[in-house]
Amino acid sequence: MLKHLYIKNFTLIDQLDIAFHSGFSVITGETGAGKSIILGAIGLLLGNRADSRQIKQGEKKCTIEAHFDLSNYGFEPFFEEHDIDFEPDDTIVRRELTATGKSRAFINDTPVSLQMMRALGEQLIDIHSQHQNLLLQKDDFQLNVVDIIAQNNKELTAYRSAYQDYKEAERRLSEVKEQISKAQENEEFMRFQFSELDSAGLIEGRQEELEQESETLSHAEDIKTAFYEADNLLNDDDNGVIRKLGQSLDSLGNIEKVYPKAQELAQRLSSVHIELKDIAGEVGSEVENIDFDPSRLDNINQQLDLLNALEQKFHVSTEKELIDIRDNIAEQLKNIDNSDEELELLEQEVKTKLAACEKQAEKLTGLRRKAIKTVEEQMSSRLIPLGIPNVRFKVELSPKPLSLDGADKVQFLFSANTSTAMEPVAQVASGGEIARVMLSLKAMVSGAVKLPTIIFDEIDTGVSGKIAQKMALIMQEMGNNNRQVISITHLPQIAALGSSHYKVEKEETVEGTRSHMCELNKEQRVSEIAQMLSGADVSDAALQNARELLDLIKKK
């Protein structure tokens, strides 16, 4: 329930700080006084789009803040899910808008996204404005009314899960069909490409090995000459390094006994001699191993030319990338070869998911059929006292292709007279009749939905007199049923029934036009209702009529 509303620097409002009460309240005021401005401010708390032009001219920031009592509405799970402190007796929702266009939202002083504010706002307040009467033209609104009365949330959730599974399976099937179709169109070309790559005998790392071997063979003579010269310098019988190093060892060995340090030097030189002999042996072997083979070089260069040509053709730079392309083509060809089996499996999955979805849809349809009887009975019983004694109201349920909300199309049929055929309500009902239908629908669903606050913005359009009073009684009944109902009205019959009465006025000041709202006391209510009865000139008779109307309401 909305307990308190604070508005600062919003369009024509300097500052509004006002308390609201439970039950049925009314807001009155002349056209253009600023009632829509207050609704616009509340709309920002419900997550509506903000515009910096809504900030009062000359100010840098506007603030809208509302306090709610949510102690009897089961909101704790929402706050736990979003990790927000839960203060059931005083939940604060605030929206701030700066002149630079920045908007910030808060729930209990915790910064939240606009999406989260909207999610909470939808559960806090329902604002019924005149444009909402157009909802009667929309199938989803009418279906939603039936679902609310059917209380089928559990079944609807299960159906939507099954429907999404079915659509996902259908999407996968369509995707695979498209892939197979494209692959089949290019099958011959892909087989040629695969054959070309496969016959190249691609092996990761082989290209580098071939390039190295080609480099070696291309310089075989130079390499052989270098090894031959090194071998000669190391192993020559007369002047080779190995022979001279051996002689040095012998010389040092001759003086080890008389010069001890020579022993250490001889040992070090011996280590070098051993290592050098080993190296000399390998150098000598390489002289024999290196041999120029023109045919081998030619074969290697042919393989490298083939790899380079393939890399250029497939726009890659490494053999590894060619291998990836070959393997990818192989996978596509495998899919083509196995496409019939894969399609059969996917088609069977779609059938299975469809059957599960249809089964859940049937459950929904059954619950909706039961709820339709309740809707028809309640709507007729509510519309008859509202001045439509011969009303006929029927809910037509017809099949439709599976969609996110089931396989049912709902349409409200209406006739105000026994002699006219029932037609869709939006097509045949007058403005006043549509207002009464919408009020009856709201009254009916409010009993099934735990919505703390409902605001009716001139739902009395097109009605007057006793009918207006009947509509007010319905709103009063809704307010007494653990709901807060606020009606913006121009009719004294409705205004008189409110347990609380607020007036919105506009005044011209030296600073410009200002709009403000206040709660009326008893005498002020008499004066306001008298003015609604008689117009600008309030006579004593009008005041007496206003008092009688208020007293009559109290007796009821």
CA neighbor of 440 nearest in space, from 409, 411, 478? 478
Is 111 in the same domain as 196? no
**Residue where a domain terminates, one of 337, 372, 391:** 337
Q: How many domains does the chain have?
A: 3
Is 96 in the same domain as 215? no
HEC string for 330-388 = HHHHHHHHCHHHHHHHHHHHHHHHHHHHHHHHHHHHHHHHHHHHHHHHHHHHHHHHHCC
**C-alpha–C-alpha distance, residues 22 and 454, integer Å:** 11
> Does the residue 64 lie in any domain?
yes
Is 460 in the same domain as 495? yes
> Does the residue 61 lie in any domain?
yes
> Does the residue 169 lie in any domain?
no
Is 466 in the same domain as 489? yes
User: 348: Cβ–Cβ under 8 A, 6 or more apart, which residues?
Assistant: none
pLDDT at residue 555 in the model: 56
List of E strands, 254-302: none
> Does the residue 489 lie in any domain?
yes
pLDDT at residue 395 in the model: 95
Is 105 in the same domain as 16? yes
With b for 16 or more beta-carbon neighbours within 10 A and e for fewer, the 347-363 pattern comes to eebbeebbebbeebbeb
Q: Provide the residue range defining the domain that includes 503.
A: 1-129+450-520
pLDDT in single tens digits along all 556 residues of the chain: 999 999 999 999 999 999 999 999 999 998 888 888 999 999 999 998 888 888 988 889 999 999 999 988 888 999 999 999 999 999 999 999 999 889 999 999 999 999 999 999 988 998 887 666 566 777 788 999 999 999 999 999 999 999 999 999 999 999 988 888 877 777 788 889 889 999 888 888 888 888 777 777 776 667 777 888 888 888 887 788 888 888 888 888 888 888 888 888 888 989 988 899 899 888 888 777 666 667 777 887 788 888 889 989 999 988 899 999 999 989 888 877 777 788 889 999 999 999 999 999 999 999 999 999 999 999 999 999 998 999 999 999 999 999 999 999 999 999 998 888 999 988 888 888 888 898 999 888 887 777 789 999 888 877 878 888 889 888 988 888 778 999 999 899 899 999 999 999 988 887 778 899 999 999 999 999 998 888 767 788 888 888 888 887 665 5
Contact 467, 387 (CB under 8 A): yes
pLDDT at residue 133 in the model: 59
Query: Which residues are paired to 399 by β-bridges?
Result: 408
pLDDT at residue 94 in the model: 96
Is 94 in the same domain as 201? no
Is 333 in the same domain as 227? yes
**Residue where a domain terminates, one of 317, 337, 357:** 337
Here the tokens at position 8 are 């600062």
Burial of 31 (0-12, 13-18, 19+ CB in 10 A): exposed
pLDDT at residue 458 in the model: 84
Cα Rg of the chain (Å, integer): 45
Is 516 in the same domain as 548? no
Is 249 in the same domain as 279? yes
Is 200 in the same domain as 104? no
pLDDT at residue 134 in the model: 61
> Does the residue 287 lie in any domain?
yes
Contact 495, 24 (CB under 8 A): no
The CATH number assigned to the domain holding 103 equals 3.40.50.300
**Residue where a domain terminates, one of 298, 322, 337:** 337
Reported as a single tens digit per residue, the pLDDT across 325-371 is: 999 989 888 877 777 788 889 999 999 999 999 999 999 999 999 99
> Does the residue 456 lie in any domain?
yes
pTM above 0.75, yes or no: no
> Does the residue 182 lie in any domain?
no
> Does the residue 409 lie in any domain?
no
Is 192 in the same domain as 332? yes
Check residue 421 and report its DSSP letter. -
Is 511 in the same domain as 537? no
CA neighbor of 138 nearest in space, from 347, 411, 355? 411
